[in-house]
Amino acid sequence: MSLPLTVIVLAAGKGTRMNSERPKVLHRLAGRSMIHHVLTTAAALAPDRVVVVLAPEMDAVAAEVDRGPLAAVIAYQEPQLGTGHAVMIARQHVPRSGDVLVLYGDTPLVEADVLQRLLEARRAAEAAVAVLGFRPPDGAGYGRLAWDQQGLAAIVEERHADETLRAEGACNAGIMAFDGARLGELLDALEIKQPKAEYYLTDVIAHARARGWPCTAIEGPFEAGLGVNSQAQLADAEALLDDVYQRADE
């Protein structure tokens, strides 16, 4: 059964590691901004509502969103207190039912079919949360997805993961699908965590499981979870996108 879909795109990061005054999500791949790629992918899902979370004074990004393929509500995050806080900011624009899909403006290579599989997996498992996993060539720095007999048990930070989980566990891409009816309670349960004094969206898995709500995950291709945080990663993404276009032309 199809459910109403809200897409939240988190794009408030300033991208200091890009060594550029241009907002990170406006850096271009194949002639289009990263956030344009993300919104185009979201459009393929025919969402009922789109919310883009920005930082104040990101007028150029807001203008790019307005030029994009979807009508979107802009929500401003000030101060920036992490991914969990960004979704809290978007929450006022999100219905308390249906599917809620959280994407990132700097993760431009995920494709619509992968996101559709994630939504379908959440519904099939009647899960509160479904997470996109992937296996990059180098998993350093990524949290790992840990499973038990009840489903997805936790997202474990790499430094807390044992050797087996680091070697065998899929990495967390950050992209999540939520049951909108349970999202509010999960966000209310989040607490500020040190050392960055932020609300971490990954903590929703533990809060859902504590309430007896199942969670699940799927694995997508490694490109789906490739975030761009530096000029080197931007070049990698450009090369991967070129490969996709070449295969499509063959």
Active site residues: 17
User: Do the Cβ atoms of 129 and 177 come closer than 8 Å?
Assistant: yes
146, two tokens: 């840990």
Question: Is the bond preceding residue 47 a cis peptide, omega within 30 degrees?
Answer: no
Contact call for residues 155 and 118 (beta carbons, < 8 A): no
Angle at the Cα of 69 from the Cα atoms of 29 and 77, rounded to 5 degrees? 80
Joined tokens for residue 36 = 């344009």
3-state secondary structure 144-195: EEEEECCEEEEEECHHHCCHHHHHHCCEEEEEEEEEHHHHHHHHHHCCCECC
3 state SS of 50: strand
In sequence order, which residues have a C-beta less than 8 Å from that of residue 240 and are 6 or more positions away? 109, 223, 226
